[in-house]
Amino acid sequence: MVDIQGYVMLFLIWLFSTLFLKYVILRKRAKYHLPPSPFGLPIIGHLHLLSPIPHQALHGLSARYGPLIHINLGSVPCLVVSSPEMAKEVLKTHETSFLNRPQTSVVDYLTYGSQDFSFAPYGVYWKFMKKICMSELLGARTLDMLLPVRRDEIKCFIELLLQKAKIGEALDIEAELLRVSNNVISRMIMSERCSEDNHEAGSIRKLVQEIAELTGKFNLSDYIWFCKNLDLQGFRRRTKDVHKRFDKMMERIINEHEEARRKRNYQSKDGGENVVIKDLLDILLDISEDECSEMKLTRENIKAFILDIFAAGTDTAAITVEWALAELINHPSIMQKAVQEIDFIIGKNRLMEESDISNLPYLQAIVKETLRLHPTGPMIIRESTEDCCIGGYYIPKNTRLLVNTWAINRDPKYWENPLEFIPERFLIEEEGNPKSQLDVRGQHYQFLPFGTGRRGCPGTSLALQVVQTSLAAMIQCFEWKVSGGAEGKVDMEEAPGITLPRANPLVCIPVTRLNPFTSSV
């Protein structure tokens, strides 16, 4: 009897709290005229509706409730945007109300208290970092200066694939592409490879993977208010361990750079030659030592910024190339058109170069179509810094903004046959057809692979260079056979993750169609 009474009491408490919460929500909605919302549960709100893949689940909700939805992820109020029109209103018309990124416990700790660039609050420091990003760190002059690094890594990658093709060995495409992008980023940042077999390089690669995993996983502490100071999932312990190892690695690398800079300065004073190609860390150290700089960069700022580049630039390029190759394998006629274009423009006597990309419009269209169907960031995440009105609805301060770019890029109002892989849609040049003018930099709100506005991705140019060059070299030099696939087809299932990974690895056997190194001899 006691047990029955206890269960009845628990049921009554649950029922009362549910009804009370519903009453509060309805009162609040009537008072403030919030956007439509599905029914939520006490404490967790609408978290149960987001599994297994959030952007797909939100797309389903938008089909039922409209392009503007209000949900609660635990105790965090969120505005979900799922149409180009609403995206333009929040990201352009009301951009100044959504210039902050939400802070999470993992990111805040890893970035030394948000002293980085990507997650720093909008303000004087962020504007300063944005300026030096665009003018020095990721500007055209720096990317041109570091072109030999990217060229060398692509050459090494193709040589590796030629070895695999010679022995007919299957390989995990994502793993090999991650190796390439890791090496490109780490050499551009600090003149070191991070994907070699030695212990130190392996540690760097593992750190990058762990950081991506920690920042991409759901953390109860960020959404359930009474879990804020608890570590139920062990994230806090893991984050502290990763941060400690990253900090130790960066201290070693910065100290080595500072010692090399002292030696160069000493040789320069003695009249010696002092010609050196600077990596991004050298440029950051130059800025930190510049007495005339409008803002002083601290050691923590430098380390946090480097973590940003590692986290944002390693797996995104690899995943995009993997999706593109998967689509091309499933569409052999499109693959053949791309190969014919490359053969016609470049020939068969040399490996393609970054400078060739501008002459390969069909390849560019393939990459755009890949980014449309498989955006590396399926959601743009911001946070409101003030009360505002969106679509006639009241949006209070501190509301998290979730712009579902995955859904927006597939909007049937703007895209004919939106679920099909059709690169030609980006080549049509008929008068009045806006798609021929679409670029990837967020100027058109039905196509947002890299975000838009002031907080759009500053590394878009670098990402495109790596993705387009890697993909072009892979299809220039090889045919690709699926290992273990049914009738040579590749499944296109997505996995949960912040950067839209594939559910199943793409495992292929490369078959050499062109060896550019023997042809050039």
Residue ranges for the known binding site are 457
In angstroms, the Cα distances linking 323 to 181, 304, 333, 379, 446 are 15, 30, 17, 18, 20
CB 227 within 8 A of CB 113: no
Binding residues for heme: 457
Sign of torsion over alpha carbons 426, 427, 430, 431: positive
CB 465 within 8 A of CB 150: yes
The 10 Å Cβ neighbour count of residue 386 is 12
As given in the structure block, the two tokens for residue 339 are: 């190969």
d(CA 478, CA 162): 9
DSSP state of 298: P
Q: How many alpha carbons fall within 13 Å on the CB side of residue 138?
A: 21
Task: Give the residue carrying structure tokens 């750190």.
Answer: 207
Please give the helix or strand (H or E) that residue 180 lies within, else none. Answer: helix 173-190
Residue type for 326, please? Answer: A
Contacts of the segment 231-240: beta carbons below 8 A, 24+ positions apart: 235/105, 235/106, 236/105, 236/109, 238/210, 238/214, 239/105, 239/106, 239/109, 239/110, 239/214, 240/109
As given in the structure block, the two tokens for residue 469 are: 């060059």
Burial of 151 (0-12, 13-18, 19+ CB in 10 A): middle
Backbone Cα Rg of the chain: 25
The 10 Å Cβ neighbour count of residue 39 is 9
Question: What are residue 363's phi and psi, to 5 degrees?
Answer: -60, -45
How far from chain centre, in Å, is Cα 445?
Answer: 18
The 10 Å Cβ neighbour count of residue 205 is 20
As given in the structure block, the two tokens for residue 201 are: 């390089």
| β-pair partners for 502 | 494
Please give the helix or strand (H or E) that residue 163 lies within, else none. Answer: helix 147-167
The residues near 213 (Cβ < 8 Å, ≥ 6 apart) are none
d(CA 191, CA 301): 19
CA neighbor of 78 nearest in space, from 278, 222, 244 = 222
Residues present in the chain in total: 521
The 10 Å Cβ neighbour count of residue 268 is 11
